[in-house]
């Protein structure tokens, strides 16, 4: 589902298009909202869009068009609104076509829930960070160990004395390879996203989270080893 923040940004971009010279497009709020996401908003998204529209007026980003005094549904940008519009343009946002959603690439419900809020708010860096933490949590749950990060993965998927045996791997080298993948996810993605601030594109975030979804399937299918006496 589209977040209120994203819907507000979509409204802003579309209002700007309607106000362009020679656009001849109706800039009434009702028409703009009904056309967001190519007219494919759910009822809940429409409600959020109207709430967002009210907040834009309340917070002083848009105001009634002085040339349309018969209706307060027609709006123009205030000075603050123009400044924010330029910030959006610098991000090169384009809402002309629907963007892929998390559930297009991810099937694990718990994984989706762990990073959906950040993803829907276009905070892709933290969405990936949350997904990485969720991968770590799931391995801890499955293995019963209470250690973290690199040490968790190297211990759980040890080829000498594994806690979890990967059913998808037939040979020792394959199991060793999976162990290194999981350790690499902690060393690179988890640590990088947790200890730094940065940006990621929507596509890159979906690719990384989609790969975590794949790794979780392998983890969930793994077998817990009974300790030898």
204 is a domain residue: yes
Do 115 and 44 lie in a common domain? Answer: no
Neighbours of 112 (CB within 10 A): 19
97 pLDDT more than 60: no
Using CA of residue 200, residue 202, residue 208, residue 213, what is the dihedral sign? positive
| Domain finish residue from 63, 98, 133 | 98
Do 145 and 191 lie in a common domain? Answer: yes
Rounded Cα–Cα distance for residues 99 and 101 (Å): 6
Domain of residue 62, CATH code: 1.10.10
Do 111 and 206 lie in a common domain? Answer: yes
| Domain finish residue from 98, 123, 157 | 98
| DSSP strand pairing (75-77 vs 62-64) | antiparallel
Do 34 and 115 lie in a common domain? Answer: no
Q: How confident is the model at residue 229 (pLDDT cuts 50, 70, 90)?
A: very low
Do 32 and 69 lie in a common domain? Answer: yes
Give the tens place of pLDDT for each residue, 27-65.
889 889 988 877 778 899 999 999 999 999 999 999 999
**What pLDDT, on a 0 to 100 scale, did the predictor assign at position 209?**
95
Do 94 and 131 lie in a common domain? Answer: no
Q: Are 216 and 111 in contact (CB under 8 A)?
A: yes
| DSSP strand pairing (223-224 vs 75-77) | unpaired
| Domain finish residue from 98, 131, 149 | 98
> What range does the domain containing 205 cover?
103-224
The count of structural domains within the chain is: 2
Rounded Cα–Cα distance for residues 223 and 220 (Å): 8
Q: How confident is the model at residue 178 (pLDDT cuts 50, 70, 90)?
A: very high
**How many residues can be counted in the chain?**
229
229 is a domain residue: no
Please list the residues that pair with 75 across neighbouring strands.
64
Do 62 and 145 lie in a common domain? Answer: no
Please list the residues that pair with 224 across neighbouring strands.
164
Kindly list the distances between the CA atom of residue 210 and the CA atoms of 8, 82, 112, 225, in Å, as whole numbers in the listed order.
27, 37, 10, 28
Give the tens place of pLDDT for each residue, 110-137.
999 999 999 988 889 999 999 999 999 9
- Picking from 119, 91, 90, the residue whose alpha carbon sits closest to that of residue 103 is 119
Neighbours of 52 (CB within 10 A): 20
């Amino acid at each position: 589902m589209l977040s209120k923040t994203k819907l507000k940004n979509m409204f802003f971009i579309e209002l700007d298009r309607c106000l362009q010279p020679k656009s001849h497009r109706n800039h009434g709020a009702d028409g703009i909202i009904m056309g967001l996401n190519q007219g494919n908003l759910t009822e809940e998204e429409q409600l959020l869009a109207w709430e967002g529209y009210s907040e834009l007026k309340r917070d002083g980003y848009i105001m009634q068009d002085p040339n349309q005094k018969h209706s307060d549904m027609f709006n123009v940008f205030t000075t603050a609104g123009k400044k924010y519009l330029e910030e959006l343009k610098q991000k090169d946002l384009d809402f002309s076509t629907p963007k892929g959603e998390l559930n297009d690439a991810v099937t694990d419900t718990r994984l989706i829930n762990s990073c959906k809020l950040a993803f829907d708010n276009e905070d892709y860096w933290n969405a990936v960070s949350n997904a990485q933490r969720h991968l770590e949590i799931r391995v801890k749950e499955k293995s019963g160990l209470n250690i973290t990060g690199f040490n968790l993965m190297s211990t759980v998927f040890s080829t000498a004395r594994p806690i979890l045996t990967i059913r998808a791997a037939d040979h020792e080298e394959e199991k060793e390879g999976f162990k290194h993948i999981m350790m690499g996810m902690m060393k690179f993605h988890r640590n990088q996203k947790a200890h730094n601030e940065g940006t990621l594109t929507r596509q890159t975030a979906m690719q990384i989270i989609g790969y975590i979804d794949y790794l979780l399937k392998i983890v969930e299918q793994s077998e817990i080893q009974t300790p030898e006496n």
